[in-house]
Amino acid sequence: MREEAVDSLTLIEEKAITDKISIVTSSSGDTQKYRQVMKDQQAEAIFKMISKIREYYNLKKGDKLKELQEKISLVESQLQSCDTRKQELSAELNKSKDLIRNQDQVKRNIDNLNYKKMKAEVDKLTHEIETLE
């Protein structure tokens, strides 16, 4: 794109030089006309360059939009994966909490059974002692 602009400017410059030579040789005192021709050529060259820059900018804008849309899609996919992982971890955490609660209940139940067993044995021994006395 840049090379095309440079080539375009080179051609315009060459045309300006040949126009200058023809103007100078045809009428050496007509510098006003020469200046006007040069201004017109420079303005035309500038407009062409602006047009090419706008075209390039608009082309890049589309590419940039596409690139950003791809990034958004990727980030949304990653977010979805993170949400799924978060739900899995939350489910595992709740399961672990339930197991810990159940484990505490089992410990209390074991303690109660041991207490009842010991109490029954103590009661039995107490009864035997009473019968021996």
Q: How do residues 74-118 score in pLDDT, each as one tens digit?
A: 999 999 999 999 999 999 999 999 998 899 889 999 999 999 999
Percent of the chain with pLDDT over 70: 78
pLDDT of residue 21: 63
What is the tens place of the pLDDT at every residue in 15-33?
Answer: 766 766 665 555 555 667 7
More confident residue, 36 or 114: 114
Cα distances from 133 to residues 92, 121, 130, in angstroms, run 61, 18, 5
Domain ranges across the chain: 2-97
Transcribe the chain into DSSP letters.
-HHHHHHHHHHHHHHHHHHHHHHHHH-TT-HHHHHHHHHHHHHHHHHHHHHHHHHHHHHHHHHHHHHHHHHHHHHHHHHHHHHHHHHHHHHHHHHHHHHHHHHHHHHHHHHHHHHHHHHHHHHHHHHHHHHH-
pLDDT of residue 24: 57
Tell me the Ramachandran region of residue 17: left when phi exceeds 0, alpha when psi lies from -120 to 50, beta otherwise. Answer: alpha
pLDDT of residue 20: 63
What is the pLDDT of the chain when averaged over all its residues?
82
pLDDT of residue 74: 95
Transcribe 67-90 into DSSP letters.
HHHHHHHHHHHHHHHHHHHHHHHH
